[in-house]
């Protein structure tokens, strides 16, 4: 289980990949001061993308997260609980 808390003043969109067929990889909107959970269990970890509400994943920030993580989003590039920030694959 991965829990994502949004402490940003604005709503943020978050998506997390999956290894298998269970669970959605669609964006979920997390309102300010709210949280969402993803049922993800795999020792390999997961890629999480965060965007400002309504933006495409091209402008998002990408993060490596482990299962059972509690993530806190302060802004696109200020995220605690993630293992590391990844390079945005859409940026040249």
pLDDT tens, residue by residue, 67-85: 899 999 999 899 999 999 9
Task: Count other Cβ atoms within 10 Å, centred on residue 70.
Answer: 14
CA 10 – CA 31 distance, rounded (Å): 7
Q: What is the pLDDT along the chain (92 residues), one digit of tens a residue?
A: 999 999 999 999 999 998 888 888 899 999 999 999 999 888 889 999 999 998 988 999 999 999 899 999 999 899 999 999 999 998 86
Model pLDDT, residue 29: 97
Beta strands in 1-92 (DSSP E): 2-6, 12-16, 28-30, 34-38, 46-52, 61-65, 70-75, 78-80, 84-86
Give the neighbor-by-neighbor strand order of the sheet with 34-38: 34-38, 2-6, 70-75, 78-80
Model pLDDT, residue 22: 80
């Amino acid at each position: 289980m991965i829990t994502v808390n949004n402490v940003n003043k604005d709503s943020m969109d978050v998506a997390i990949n999956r290894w298998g067929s269970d669970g959605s990889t669609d964006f979920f909107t997390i309102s300010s001061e709210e949280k969402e959970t993803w049922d993800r269990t795999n020792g390999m970890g997961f890629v999480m993308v965060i965007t400002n509400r309504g933006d495409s994943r091209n402008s998002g920030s990408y993060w490596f997260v482990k299962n059972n993580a509690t993530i806190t989003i302060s802004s696109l590039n200020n995220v605690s609980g993630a293992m590391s920030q990844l390079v945005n694959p859409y940026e040249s």
